[in-house]
Amino acid sequence: MATRILFLGVAALVIIVAGADQSPLQDFCVANPSNGVFVNGFACKDPRMVQANDFYFGGLHLAGNVSNPVGSKVTPVTVAQLPGLNTLGISLARVDYAPWGINPPHTHPRATEILTVIEGTLEVGFITSNPDNRLITKVLSKGDAFVFPMGLIHYQRNVGYSNVVAIAALNSQNPGVITIANAVFGSNPDIPTDLLAKAFQVDKSIAGQIQSKF
Ligand SMILES: *[C@@H]1O[C@H](CO)[C@@H](O)[C@H](O)[C@H]1NC(C)=O
């Protein structure tokens, strides 16, 4: 039953989402990542060699492993997992959340996201850009959908005592993810600790302590 609802949700989302990536100039351009040509996206596999499996991804009925510090797991279906998505401006993800697990504040630099809850109760939120930085939140139940506008920082949290399953659709073949805490406190190499201390208006030891966690 849950699986059937999941795939109905997926089908509905695929119809709703329009591309922010550039429009295709041909029926398809199945990604050929081993081609040495660097273009925006991936070079195309010879169309005569394309198979059904180039347009296929299986396994979204399987729960992700949420045994990690944040208590959530994203199973992405982007061009990296499904080469047929190349040039099509769309992708998908399954997100699993342990009770009180979070998908920490993050942004997708290339996509708007629409998410629907398949199981459980999920708090969602996004923050508007400067100067207001208004937080817009809502608690979603099974069957609800919510949109995170392009580029804005957003998060989700399981606010129930059972697992949550959500399906997200994004209008890019490669939406990208920037997790705020990891990017700012876990960059490689580190952002200077005194700079972070000033940016976050905390003592240098606190900034250093957070950096040591990432
Ligand atoms: C889930 O992840 C944890 C932590 O990495 C690991 O110890 C555990 O074996 C994993 N469970 C499954 C079922 O893969």
Q: Check whether 108 is labelled as a binding-site residue.
A: yes
Range(s) of the domain holding residue 213? 179-214
Q: Are residues 196 and 102 in the same domain?
A: no
Question: How many angstroms separate the alpha carbon of residue 152 from the centre of ligand 1?
Answer: 31
pLDDT tens readout for residues 135-177: 999 999 999 999 999 999 999 999 999 999 999 999 999 999 9
Give the predicted TM-score (pTM) of the model: 0.88
Question: How many angstroms separate the alpha carbon of residue 130 from the centre of ligand 1?
Answer: 40
| 80 touches 119 (CB < 8 A) | no
Q: Where are the beta strands (DSSP E) in the chain?
A: 72-77, 91-97, 102-107, 113-119, 122-127, 135-140, 145-148, 153-158, 164-170, 178-179
Nearest atom in ligand 1 to the alpha carbon of residue 65 is 1
pLDDT tens readout for residues 41-72: 999 999 999 999 999 999 999 999 999 999 99
Amino acid at 65: N
Question: Where residue 19 sits, what CATH number does that domain have?
Answer: 2.60.120.10
What's the total number of domains in the chain?
Answer: 2
Q: Are residues 35 and 123 in the same domain?
A: yes
Q: Are residues 130 and 168 in the same domain?
A: yes
Q: Are residues 123 and 199 in the same domain?
A: no
Q: Are residues 171 and 193 in the same domain?
A: no
- For residue 65 and ligand 1, the question of a CB distance below 6 A is answered with yes
Nearest-CA residue for atom 10 of ligand 1:
65
3-state class (DSSP) for residue 189:
coil
